Structure 1
Amino acid sequence: MPGENLTRIEAQERRAVVDTKSYEVGLDLTRGPEVFGSRTVVRFTATAGADTFIDLIAREVRSITLNGADLPASAFADSRIALTGLAAENELIVDADCLYTNTGEGLHRFVDPVDGEVYLYSQFEVPDSRRVFVVFEQPDLKATFQFTVTAPEPWAIVSNSPTPEPKKHGDGTATWTFEATPRISSYITALIAGPYESTFSELTSASGRVIPLGVYGRKSLWQYLDADYIFDKTRQGFAYFEEKFDYAYPFAKYDQLFVPEFNAGAMENAGAVTFTESYVFRSKVTDAIKERRVVTVLHELAHMWFGDLVTMKWWNDLWLNESFAEWASTIATAEATEWTEAWTTFAAMEKTWAYRQDQLPSTHPVVAEINDLEDVQVNFDGITYAKGGSVLKQLAAWVGIDEFFAGVSRYFKKHEWQNTELGDLLSELEQTSGRELGTWSKKWLETAGVNTLSPEIATDVDGRITRFAIVQTAPADYPTIRPHRLGVGFYSLQADALVRMHHVELDVDGDLTEVAELKGIAQPDLVLLNDEDLAYAKIRLDPRSLQTAIAHLGKISDPLARSLVWGAAWDQTRDAEASASDYVDLVLRNIGAETESTTVRTTLGQLQLAANSYVAPEKRDATRKRVADALWHLAEAAEAGSDNQLQFVTAFATAASTPEQWQQVRRVRDGEVDFAGLDIDTDLSWQLLVSLAAGGVVTAAEIDDALAADNTAKGGEFAAQAKAALPDLDARRTAWASLIDNDDLPNTIVRSSALGFTNPAGVALLGEFVQPYFDMLLPIWDSRTYQIAQYLIVGLYPAALANLSLRDATRAWLSANADAPAALRRLVNENLAGVERALAVQERDAQ
């Protein structure tokens, strides 16, 4: 990716001499399947006589005119146009041919295999509006954007401003001329075009304005899109955020568009949010996925204030967007929708993600050091989203929720349509809460690492506590000891339940905190630090509590408490402080009683990792067989038609590792085994087929037959995954060549193929590809877009080997490539960290 980077210093230097006013962007989408026309007029002020540059990635630049003078073609080089001798007031006109992509970056073009219809959508975060029009590609150069689009007349054309009536040309094409946007950053501008189906509604904002609402989707998926539910959650979110933020929705309309081959969950384009089509449910999905969709809807809506109205100056403050949207969407989901256990979901999924990310060698403060665009590309991670959201929850509790919302409201009103830094928000929160936040910020937002909290318990001969203390530790590389507000819960077995008998809430600070009020109380069966999940810290279970959890975790009635115990047991396992085999026992004994869908989903994923990579190698085959057998029995015992039944059946298929188990998978798919209430619908049938492919039970021809029966985008992804999972070397080499030797596969096929290629069932074949993996790293990084390179570098890493040879080969590459781009080295280092952790846990399990 040479020539497409931008450093923070370059951005600061450019901002010092340039201020943007407006863009007029004309796009011609009628030039065929490869290119589109892009003509942009940029008006900006500058320091008279200054030199700078503007960004563009294009196949060809036809003309460049600066203040009436034509610039030579040589002014465009290395994804930049050099601008010299600027005036105080400037007008730049650039006419170019730009390329459609199939990578989910820039202007993505998709052809629906069902009906041949063409669909386009833009994805510009972080640096990809320059793939569509010439632009000062940095968030603190805000401007108004006025789009004019020429396209096939039957298409729907959606952008940030309301869609105007088109001017029809009589030749099957038409032109849409949009009103200019408010002053926004380039990365949240948008264009979505194609024969999308749509439906509309409206709501009345707190300002009294009527806000038009739209929901869009592809024709071939439209029957599955439950737009009324999306509208309902949107209205709930609007009401919640407008009240809590005391600031009315800032844009003219709000469209939500479900688009094909999307890389992320969604993108917060101002007034035109794009979502992954995974949220269009053509088959039965788990409650975890349904709830995740609601959180995502509210996350993107929160961005209309956090990020779109007020935007960070540079990407080191990305958390001002993402952490706040994560926190705001969770509290809104819990308080404004039917998904009242959203904080349990947050603990199970988001905080698990955060703790994992915070222990990688690439961990960083919430307010990260972002030196260039490559740095920020890899920083859309568990720190920026989940840790940031976690510490904001803690901050809101510390300053008071009403004071917190009041400070946020002041922040919006003071900085509307502008760019901000960390201190701008903290100063408003200090005003409303009366608290000094500089010390809090340094410990929580400006330092990296996660603390561990452990109980120290002493008892007398009668089992009563004589001393209770909480020990706080920090990793050697990140030694910050932080203040925490947390609860301590005492749980004891009562009849057939594990019941909380005592609870205290206290402040913990320093290396050791004595808890005198717990003296004299009988030691319970289970002690739960961070009861009610107020703190961001890993917690430890004492030996008695761990044994209680293994035997009785499912008997805790409170779902949040269960989630915390699940998490504590997993953390101890990952840190090689407890046996992976014990963790497997814990899950298999208790997961059948778990009622929270996301907790089940997260825990089953961790169970698979424990069985495939964490148990001692000599135990692995037996453990994998035992896990799959147990999941089969859990599926049989689950309530007919229940969420758990669906999760256990799919988990069994994923875990299958013996010919007998794969035959069971086949019998389920063929309808020979009938789980009452379970429909083998399209997506479940594919999931079962992927399992059969990994087990060598089906052929490539049978996969082709399945694709012929479901010749859809989703079917194509499943087929690619299944073919790449086939357990013979020729199939793997074919899959490898399709990914590495060619660069024409769309993003979702790349992602799916990589997932199949590294299926743990075929681990014996992965050793063949260790050296080719390292050989391809630099060429792929240099030749592919960031998103595709990341899919290949992370997705094809043979992590399932989890052995010394892979560790040593990874270390050798890092040692030999010290000058490789920092973002590439970060991805490889994170891969290495996973193997090193697996080896440590295996050693502990062998004891």
Structure 2
Amino acid sequence: MPGENLTRLEAQQRAEILNVHRYQVHLDVSEDSKYFSSDTTIEFDAKAGSSTFIDAITHQVSLIELNGEVLDNALSDGVRISLPNLQTSNRLRIKAVGIYSNTGEGLHKFVDPVDGEVYLYTQFEVPDSRRMFPVFEQPDLKAVFEFSVTAPKGWKVISNSPTPEPSTVSDTLARWDFAPTPRISSYITALIAGPYSQWNDSLVSLSGKVIPLGVFCRSSLAEFMDPDYIFEKTKQGFAYFEKAFDFPYPFEKYDQLWVPDFNAGAMENAGAVTFTESYLFRSAVTDATKERRVVTILHELAHMWFGDLVTMRWWNDLWLNESFAEYASTLATADATEWDQAWTTFASLEKNWAYRQDQLPSTHPIVAQINDLEDVQVNFDGITYAKGASVLKQLVAWVGQEPFLRGVASYFKKHQWQNTELKDLLVELERESGRDLSSWSKLWLETAGVNTLKPIIETDSSGLVTSFKVEQTAIAEHPTIRPHRMGIGYFNLAEGKLVREHAVEVDIDGPLTEIAVLNGTKRPDFVLLNDQDLAYAKVRLDEPSRLVALGNLSSIEDSLARTLVWTAAWDATRDGEAPARDFIDLVLNHIGPETESTTILTLLRQLVTTGNLYVAQHTRSESLEKIASGLISLAETAPAGSDSQLQFVKFVPQFARTKAHQDWMRSLLNGSKTLAGFTVDQDVRWELVSGLTINGVFGESEIAEELERDNTANGQKFAAAARAAIPTPENKRATWDLLVGTEQYSNTLVNSASLAFGRVNDLSLLGQYLDEYHQTALDIWTRFSYKIAEYLLINLYPVQLASAELAAATKALIETEEVSSRPALRRILVENLAGVERALVAQRADR
């Protein structure tokens, strides 16, 4: 992996030398189970007499021909090809053999266990188009790409340009010759090929063009595709973005493809967006997942403008792509689809992610310092996506939505098909809003950390406010005090409901801000800072409001206000300011009536962390039993067939540990127990099988029986997890050796099995892996691809053993020269350690 790195300095130097015009890439994916061939011709200008290199991760190079001269193949080291003595105009031809991936990086190959069919797709962001063809792999060397592909007849072959009619090569093979793309970056080029099922539609763009729409998935999953709904959301997104951005869709067609073994949620390949198959629903899914799919569809569509049409010059402005797409997709989801509570979802999911990431030692400014490709790999994080989007929301509240969108529209018009930096966007926003954004940019984009806001309220004997102040604090490591635009809500109890009766929107700045407009008002039962969630900041409740919230949280009518109170309670628990067991009680007492699916999902995930890490060790077993029993009770009393019923059932196996819990899961699985309106479908079956396996009730024979019932890619993923969870020392050893000592598993199976490895009721099963993890971490990093190493190093870390001993071992590893010289590896370990240290603080508070 270190040999595959590219530094920012190298990229800058190469960009000063080169102007790349065109790639003509022929791929043959017809012949071998392990390898494919490429024949690539690149036309580019250069400074005469200069030398550089082209990126090409290959198995073999058979031809390097530069300006008609055949060069020595030894100029290739398998990662780069040196290019000496360039002319003003150059023509480079390289013939090479590449290796299919099973890690979701580069050109990934998947064999469907259902029917044996082969499926290919690419995933190139950040640096992996070089795994398919030789390329100057950096976003600012845009070019025109012209692909041709030889593949089996009967396959669907999709790329960035519209799919042409294939020409016959032989009785079994055909060739697809795609038209040239517009001038784009290499990381958004794409190839998807195989016997995919396809559905078609079209729309008329703002430009007057007819834009063909395509939806694709594996044929064995075709029955689960809902193309009409996908097309409907896509058309709503097109109409919204074309109007908001005042710029027509910039490509010739728009295909959306659901592909196997995908590492991310989706990828914004120009005109050929790929999605994880988790967004194909073969079993009942929560409304949270359904809504997230819509947000993801619109996120990737927003990228067609922000990222694909206009692209960052280097990866330090990656946030411009991701934060904007995250903000714009939530805006469009709330305004243009039936998911009109999308900002509540954003507050529950995205902002919690951002706050968590921003409190890690590895936090960084939104505009991150990206020195090389390893830096950017680990910056697909809660800062780049969620904090950036939260800060954009705050900016929009400050400058106004219409000026903001006018500035964005001007940015697209001025910089179409080019590369930009942050300053280019700020110029347009300043022009349209009349605001000087230099100070805002410095405080919000160039510093790290999250502020905490707390109300300080004084009243007279009649309950009238005599002083209302907002205190703003920051931690010593990130001491910046920032300006905030935010709401303050007054809520009172009325007929069993906590109802907003008064609200103001104010500017907060400095350590202490007087809110004079509230002087003389009647102090309400409950005060909420950041009402409407405009600001990016942690919020604390004053003591009278906290007590009212504890008893009445579920009676808050406004879903966004309710989510903000949930978040405040969680922040206090994570920060060790409130006992973990209080949070468990709060959730079990108030989650039942919660209406927002994503809020429920977020709370259940927080219960997993609280029960396993934050509760004091001497009460942990008791607390986990309490959560499991509480969720069983909630599942049995939830409305029949409801979203909450489904979520409660699926989370019981995360906590189950008593004979009563085991009997409940087993009876639900075998059908001797039923819940009104609830279907135990295949995915629920697997959750119950895993829970029973962790409890030692089920073993290999039951897992094999369930896999025979569901021998699909999804079934294999669940089976790998269940096997990894078998609670015996022998099985933990075999699983560890399989994951760390071999490369048998694909990326999906590695992730599933390594996540399940640490799911134990008996922590002694993990004891020996405390030392072994630290002894093998460096070897994992150097032997595996980035994504596989990341899965293993995060998922196998024995955080469940949170202790001073674990913290000391991780600190010692971080301080070694081998780790400190590898920033991306160091960051993963630093974040692992931070989880342990936070758990120890929370455990002390819970005593």
TM-score by length of 1: 0.99
Q: CA deviation at 1:78?
A: 5.2
Letter in 2 for 1:258: W
Is 623-632 or 122-131 further displaced after alignment?
A: 623-632
1:762-841, aligned counterparts within 5 Å?
A: 762-817=762-817, 818-841=819-842
Letter in 2 for 1:828: L
Mapped partners of 1:700, 1:354: distance in 2: 40
Is 772-781 or 9-18 further displaced after alignment?
A: 772-781
Q: Report Cα offsets for 1:24-43 as digits up to 9, x if no partner.
A: 00000012110001110011
The equivalent residue for 1:211 is 211
The equivalent residue for 2:341 is 341
Q: Report Cα offsets for 1:234-289 as digits up to 9, x if no partner.
A: 00000000000000000000000000010000000000000000000000000000
**8 Å Cα contact 1:15-1:141 kept in structure 2:** yes
The equivalent residue for 1:111 is 111
1:52-451, aligned counterparts within 5 Å?
A: 52-77=52-77, 79-451=79-451
2:4 alignment partner, SS class: coil
The equivalent residue for 1:749 is 749
1:340 alignment partner, SS class: coil
Q: Report Cα offsets for 1:156-194 as digits up to 9, x if no partner.
A: 000000000001123200000000100000000000000
Mapped partners of 1:93, 1:753: distance in 2: 43
Mapped partners of 1:544, 1:594: distance in 2: 23
Q: 1:762–1:144: structure 2 CA closer, same or farther, 3 Å change rule?
A: farther
Letter in 1 for 2:374: E
Mapped partners of 2:466, 2:725: distance in 1: 57
Mapped partners of 2:341, 2:457: distance in 1: 32
Q: Report Cα offsets for 1:671-693 as digits up to 9, x if no partner.
A: 12111111000111111111111
1:777 alignment partner, SS class: helix
**8 Å Cα contact 2:727-2:760 kept in structure 1:** no
Q: CA deviation at 1:657?
A: 2.0
Mapped partners of 2:141, 2:465: distance in 1: 61
The equivalent residue for 1:576 is 576
**8 Å Cα contact 1:161-1:178 kept in structure 2:** yes
Is 495-504 or 448-457 further displaced after alignment?
A: 495-504
2:150 alignment partner, SS class: strand
**8 Å Cα contact 2:58-2:97 kept in structure 1:** yes
Mapped partners of 2:550, 2:816: distance in 1: 45
Letter in 2 for 1:406: R
2:184 alignment partner, SS class: coil
1:121 alignment partner, SS class: strand
1:592 alignment partner, SS class: coil
The equivalent residue for 2:460 is 460
The equivalent residue for 2:477 is 477
2:31 alignment partner, SS class: coil
Letter in 1 for 2:400: G
Q: CA deviation at 1:524?
A: 2.6
The equivalent residue for 1:492 is 492
The equivalent residue for 2:21 is 21
Mapped partners of 2:428, 2:526: distance in 1: 42
Mapped partners of 2:730, 2:549: distance in 1: 46
Is 815-824 or 494-503 further displaced after alignment?
A: 815-824
Q: CA deviation at 1:755?
A: 1.2
The equivalent residue for 2:5 is 5
> What is the aligned residue count?
846
Mapped partners of 1:654, 1:670: distance in 2: 19
Is 416-425 or 389-398 further displaced after alignment?
A: 389-398
1:700 aligns with 2:693: no
**8 Å Cα contact 1:52-1:82 kept in structure 2:** yes
Letter in 1 for 2:359: Q
Mapped partners of 1:188, 1:472: distance in 2: 42
2:675 alignment partner, SS class: coil
Mapped partners of 1:613, 1:361: distance in 2: 19
**8 Å Cα contact 1:27-1:148 kept in structure 2:** yes
Mapped partners of 1:608, 1:465: distance in 2: 41
The equivalent residue for 2:643 is 643
Mapped partners of 1:707, 1:820: distance in 2: 44
Mapped partners of 2:733, 2:37: distance in 1: 39
Mapped partners of 1:664, 1:446: distance in 2: 52
Mapped partners of 1:310, 1:2: distance in 2: 30
Q: CA deviation at 1:819?
A: 3.4
Mapped partners of 2:209, 2:497: distance in 1: 53
Is 244-253 or 392-401 further displaced after alignment?
A: 392-401
**8 Å Cα contact 1:549-1:586 kept in structure 2:** no
2:697 alignment partner, SS class: coil
Letter in 2 for 1:412: F
Mapped partners of 2:744, 2:699: distance in 1: 25
Q: 1:407–1:760: structure 2 CA closer, same or farther, 3 Å change rule?
A: farther
Q: Mind listing any 5+ residue stretches in structure 1 that lack a counterpart?
A: none
**8 Å Cα contact 1:659-1:695 kept in structure 2:** no
Q: CA deviation at 1:522?
A: 3.6
Q: Report Cα offsets for 1:459-489 as digits up to 9, x if no partner.
A: 3344443322110011111111100011111
Mapped partners of 1:696, 1:738: distance in 2: 21
Q: CA deviation at 1:605?
A: 0.6
Mapped partners of 1:691, 1:464: distance in 2: 54
Q: CA deviation at 1:762?
A: 4.4
**8 Å Cα contact 1:247-1:412 kept in structure 2:** yes
1:626 alignment partner, SS class: helix
**8 Å Cα contact 2:266-2:274 kept in structure 1:** yes
Letter in 2 for 1:495: E
1:678 alignment partner, SS class: coil
2:487 alignment partner, SS class: strand
Is 580-589 or 827-836 further displaced after alignment?
A: 580-589
Mapped partners of 1:820, 1:726: distance in 2: 37
1:441 alignment partner, SS class: helix
Mapped partners of 2:373, 2:579: distance in 1: 41
**8 Å Cα contact 1:121-1:193 kept in structure 2:** yes
Mapped partners of 2:765, 2:461: distance in 1: 57
2:175 alignment partner, SS class: strand
Letter in 1 for 2:74: S
Mapped partners of 2:547, 2:581: distance in 1: 13
2:335 alignment partner, SS class: helix
Q: 1:525–1:801: structure 2 CA closer, same or farther, 3 Å change rule?
A: farther
**What is the root-mean-square deviation in Å for CA atoms of aligned residues?**
1.0
The equivalent residue for 1:659 is 659
Mapped partners of 1:657, 1:316: distance in 2: 46
**8 Å Cα contact 1:316-1:368 kept in structure 2:** yes
Mapped partners of 1:665, 1:746: distance in 2: 30
Q: CA deviation at 1:770?
A: 1.0
Mapped partners of 1:271, 1:816: distance in 2: 45
Is 518-527 or 199-208 further displaced after alignment?
A: 518-527
